[in-house]
Amino acid sequence: MTPRLNLIVLGKQGAGKGTQCTVLALKYNIPHVSTGDTLRNAVKAGSELGRQVASILEAGELVKDELVNALVRERFTQADAQRGVLLDGFPRTLNQAEALEAMLGDDGIKLCINLDVAKELVIRRLSSRRVCQECATTYNDSDIEAISGTCSNCGGDVIQRTDDYPDAIRTRLETYERDTEPLLAFYGERDLLVTVNGDQSPSDVTAAIVKVVHERGLA
Ligand code: AMP
At residue 136, the pLDDT reads 86
Cα-to-centroid distance, 35 and ligand 1 (Å): 6
CA dist 165 and 42 (Å) reads 21
Taking every pair of Cα atoms in the chain, the longest distance, rounded to a whole number of angstroms, is 50
Whole-number Å distance, alpha carbon 139 to ligand 1 midpoint, is: 20
Which member of 12, 40, 92, 130 is catalytic? Answer: 92
In the annotation, is 64 catalytic?
A: no
Nearest alpha carbon, ligand 1 atom 19? 90
Q: Tens digits of per-residue pLDDT, 91-140?
A: 999 999 999 999 998 889 999 999 999 999 999 999 999 999 998 889 99
Q: In DSSP terms, which residues pair with 132 in a beta bridge?
A: 158
Mean pLDDT confidence for 170-179: 96
The pTM is what? Answer: 0.93
- Distant-in-sequence, close-in-space partners of 144: CB < 8 Å, separation ≥ 6: 152
Atom of ligand 1 nearest to the CA of 61: 12
Flag the least confident range among 123-137, 183-197, 201-215: 123-137
Q: Burial code of 46-80, b = ≥16 C-beta within 10 A, e = fewer?
A: eeebbeebbebbeebebbebeebbebbeebbeeee
Does the C-beta of 57 come closer than 6 Å to ligand 1? yes
Kindly state if the Cβ of 13 falls inside 6 Å of ligand 1: yes
Does residue 1 surpass a pLDDT of 90?
no
Q: What is the pLDDT of residue 2?
A: 59
